Amino acid sequence: MARALKISAQEGLAALTIGRLAKELQLSKSGLFAHFHSKQALELATIAKAEEFFADAVLRPAQASGDGIERLWNLCDLWLLHIERHEFSGSYFFTGAFFEHADQPGPLSKAVKSAAHEWINALRKAIEAGQEQGEIDPDAEAKQVASELNARLVGAYWEYLLGGGNSLREARTTLLGRLRELAPAPTPASAFESVGAWKKYLEKKR
């Protein structure tokens, strides 16, 4: 599935066919068809593989690395790192798949929407956990903030693709500014002055 993921990340799911994949893997088309039975089944399997890949790179490490506002930061930071490392060997898989299929009926639309919901929900849950721990303003609307952060991340990615070499680094600075707005006292304002200052604060906090 790694080759299928690479093709679809670079060229879109529409470019992924059983014949194309069989040729790249030097397998018989009939043998691969016997496994997947249809192009749609191959596409769904590729989306599932992308979800697993994203969970391993972003969701699980963030869950394991901290709670509350720290988890929220880690989710966003790992998302950006995921882009910087070109881990899909092309564009960010779910941005392309979402715009390609989200407004269409059928299983592919359902699958990409489910992946998007999982990501937004991870942000929302981190915000809610931070509120419970007193690290995030309890009056903040978690769902709205999660959508806002996602929009900022995707916007930074668009700028990056347009040639903005510093856009992802600047996105982290912008993110710290938003966290400063969300974090009530006694979190010191100095902790949000830079990525380095934030990381030092987290180390002391632990």
pLDDT of residue 21: 66
Q: Choose between 100 and 116: higher pLDDT.
A: 116
| Domain-located, residue 17 | no
| Domain-located, residue 67 | yes
Looking at the 3D structure of the chain, how many domains does it have?
1
Q: Choose between 161 and 72: higher pLDDT.
A: 72
Say what the pTM is: 0.82
| Domain-located, residue 95 | yes
| Domain-located, residue 12 | no
One-letter amino acid of 159: E
| Domain-located, residue 13 | no
For the chain, what percent of residues have pLDDT higher than 90?
36
Q: What is the pLDDT of residues 23-64, one digit of tens each?
A: 666 666 666 666 777 777 878 888 888 888 889 989 999 988
Residue 140 has pLDDT above 90, yes or no: yes
72: nearest Cα among 25, 158, 154, 136: 136
- CATH code for the domain in which residue 177 is found: 1.10.357.10
| Domain-located, residue 9 | no
| Domain-located, residue 120 | yes
Asked if 133 and 68 touch (Cβ cutoff 8 Å), the reply is yes
Q: What is the pLDDT of residues 58-86, one digit of tens each?
A: 999 998 887 889 999 999 999 998 888 77
Sign of CA dihedral 82, 84, 86, 91: positive
| Domain-located, residue 171 | yes
| Domain span including residue 87 | 51-205
